[in-house]
């Protein structure tokens, strides 16, 4: 059964320097609070994995937690580019960032292979693009039945996956609904998992379209109300689109970013 822990305990026990860490959540249910805790605990040399490294990874990269990024789309959705990500790639600030770049279809299938206990996934993808030239983890493969050439990508097996969900019960069974993205696959692909939830309840009502992660498949659960903000938790909160728009100005310069980090991550943690 998953252990019920505080956020600080969960991050301290499950996320280590040098780990391969996936924080998933496709626009919805992004584990921002857990990302901030990783920054506060000063994790370094992480390989960060995420299909859509948006604002949360901009913050982790800008804070110097990452050595390497494995991803398929790095932007601020509907707003523009990620300035901390750009600064790291273009100017190695605050430190160099290695990239391993894929498409969404490739990343999704890599998680599926990891969750399935397979060494690789096969898909129709990447053909004719320049991605295989730069990402050695994209290789052609011949179908043994038809002779057709397809594309293979290796399984993703993060050391730890962190996701946010709506609810858990006291046995650590996790319930999420709405846009559930690739969270289930990312948790099942990982060696360890930490799930933050809006609330821990004695018993939950079923919800249409829900995804349930059984407690015995999850390492730890932490109750963190609002832990997805400025992303959202369907049924609990709405996406704070203003925050995403405002992030463009906050993150554009190193000093405004540092000031934001001090006020909203470091000092917020000290107050908690």
Q: Among residues 10 and 35, whose Cβ is nearest to other proteins? A: 35
- The pair of three-digit structure tokens given for residue 91, joined into one six-digit string: 């100017």
178 binds other proteins (CB under 8 A): yes
User: What residues from 214 to 243 belong to the interface with other proteins (CB under 8 A)?
Assistant: 232, 234, 238-239, 241-242
The whole-angstrom distance between residue 249's C-alpha and the CA centroid of its chain comes to 23
Among 19, 37, 58, 185, binds other proteins (CB under 8 A): 185
Which among 2-10, 37-45, 83-91, 199-207 is the span making contact with other proteins, rule CB under 8 A?
83-91
77 binds other proteins (CB under 8 A): yes
SS (H, E, C) 39-103: HHCCCCCEEEEECCCCHHHHHHHHCCCEEEEEECCCCECCCECCHHHHHHHHHCCCCCCEEEECC
Distances in whole angstroms, Cα of residue 214 to Cα of each of 1, 62, 83, 169, 170: 8, 35, 38, 10, 12
95 binds other proteins (CB under 8 A): no
DSSP state for residue 17 in the 8-state scheme: T
Q: Among residues 15 and 121, whose Cβ is nearest to other proteins? A: 121
Question: Under a CB-based contact definition with an 8 Å cutoff, are residues 27 and 52 in contact?
Answer: yes
- Which chain residues interact with other proteins by CB under 8 A? 26-28, 51-52, 71-75, 77-79, 81-82, 85-86, 89-90, 101-105, 108-109, 111-112, 123-131, 134, 148-149, 178-182, 184-185, 209, 211, 232, 234, 238-239, 241-242, 244-245
């Amino acid at each position: 059964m998953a252990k019920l822990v505080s956020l600080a305990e969960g991050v301290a026990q499950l996320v280590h320097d040098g780990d391969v860490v996936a924080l998933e959540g496709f626009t919805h249910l992004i584990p921002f609070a857990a990302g901030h805790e990783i920054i506060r605990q000063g994790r370094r040399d992480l390989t960060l994995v995420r299909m859509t490294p948006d604002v949360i990874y901009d913050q982790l990269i800008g804070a110097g937690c990452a050595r390497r990024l494995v991803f398929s789309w790095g932007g601020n959705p509907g707003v523009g580019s990620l300035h901390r990500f750009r600064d790291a790639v273009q100017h190695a600030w605050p430190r160099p960032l290695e990239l391993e770049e894929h498409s969404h279809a490739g990343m999704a299938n890599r998680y599926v292979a990891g969750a399935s206990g397979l060494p690789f996934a096969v898909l129709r993808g990447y053909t004719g693009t320049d991605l295989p030239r730069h990402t050695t983890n994209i290789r052609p493969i011949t179908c043994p039945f038809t002779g057709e050439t397809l594309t293979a990508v290796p399984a993703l097996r993060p050391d730890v996956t962190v996701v946010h969900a709506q609810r858990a019960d006291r046995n650590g069974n996790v319930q999420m609904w709405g846009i559930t993205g690739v969270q289930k696959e990312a948790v099942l692909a990982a060696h360890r998992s930490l799930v933050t939830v809006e609330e821990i309840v004695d018993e939950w009502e079923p919800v249409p379209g829900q995804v349930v992660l059984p407690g015995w498949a999850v390492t730890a659960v932490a109750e963190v109300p609002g832990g997805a903000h400025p992303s959202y938790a369907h049924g609990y909160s709405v996406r704070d689109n203003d925050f995403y728009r405002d992030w463009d100005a906050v993150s554009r310069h190193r000093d405004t970013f540092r000031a934001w980090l001090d006020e909203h991550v470091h000092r917020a943690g000290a107050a908690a």
